[in-house]
Amino acid sequence: MRPWLLVLLLAAACAGSRSVPHDETPERADTGRWDAGMRIVRTTDPSRTFGGAARPMQLTVWYPAMRTGAAPLTYGDYLCDLPNEGSAVQKADACSAGAKEFSDYATQLGVTPAAVASLLARPFLARRDAPPVNRRFPLVVLAVGRDESPVLHVPLAERLASDGFVVVSVPTVGVETRSMGFDAPSVDANARDVAFALDTAARWDDVDARRVTAIGYSFGAAAALLTAMHDSRVAAVISIDGVIGFSDRLALVRAAPRYDRTRRGFRLLQLNVAGEPRNDLSLIAELAARPKRVVSIAGAHHLDFTIFGAAAASVPGFHHQMRGTTEESQARAYRAMSDIVLQSLRGAAIHPAPGDVLKVIPIPEY
């Protein structure tokens, strides 16, 4: 009997579903056993150039940490590292520049300035440079969307660190410029950045790199998949509404130098938005990876799987205005994604939150 490609439809906005209160982030109610630490590692990849010099690499790292009396990072603290991405020079006004860059982006999406200010002042979980726990933890490499920063995925990364994973992420940077193009060389550059982060993290004392999970959001899913195709240490790929399932991006992924659909040895989970017209499972179906699952989250928008969905649960008035979604639906979509990712990392069966509806539809592979 041929294997099955499971399509799981998670109805994240159905009647009777629980709401998430505004007095906590989605992670605070069920964080793991560990405190979380965060550190920035600035280095270079001498094997590649960027602007005539060695390619600058800024790695953001979350990890299980020893408890300290230090104050946790606010979201505004995280934004201090945003302007230094893709640059070998550290900017003197980085905090104000980072806050402005994020604030401009959020207000363009319809978030009020007051809600943005509230988010920036809000403490999160991790403490900067907290001493790591003296043991080894599984490694997660997190590849972010096109022209994006790891700061858009702070809540998810912190939650995974508190649950016993070391998470390392890099921004998406173009071949020779900060902006990333829609072409195969840019996809390859991003995949090589993720591979560099994996190789770097594998040498750390608190990392067990024998079985790595590569998570990719949006454009970063291509880098996550290509990393698994190139590195046998990657045992699983989790694509969060990733381009490996978008009809208008499949040719770009297939054209990448590291693409090899015959590569086995890793499992694949694709999360997407139910009913999105661009959803296309043909590339996923052709992969030799086993097993493969696709989880469709109803009532969601692409942005809900980032800080925008997480903040919708904790900051009154913080919600984007894209495609008619609501503050509650954005928070719910984020929570569904976060729960499913953590369950997958733990090796547990994927199940819905209380009150949600789960339908399992088996579809034969192509």
Query: Which residues are bridge partners to 269 per DSSP?
Result: 238, 293
* pLDDT tens, position by position, 141-190: 999 998 889 999 999 999 999 999 999 999 998 887 777 877 888 899 99
Say how far apart CA 37 and CA 50 lie, in whole Å. 30
Please say whether the structural domain 4-364 has been given the CATH code 3.40.50.1820.
Answer: yes
* pLDDT tens, position by position, 30-70: 568 899 999 999 999 999 988 889 999 999 999 999 999 89
DSSP 73: P
Say how far apart CA 10 and CA 353 lie, in whole Å. 9
> What's the mean per-residue pLDDT of the chain?
86
Q: Provide the whole-model pTM.
A: 0.90
Closest by CA to 100, choosing from 122, 123, 76, is 76
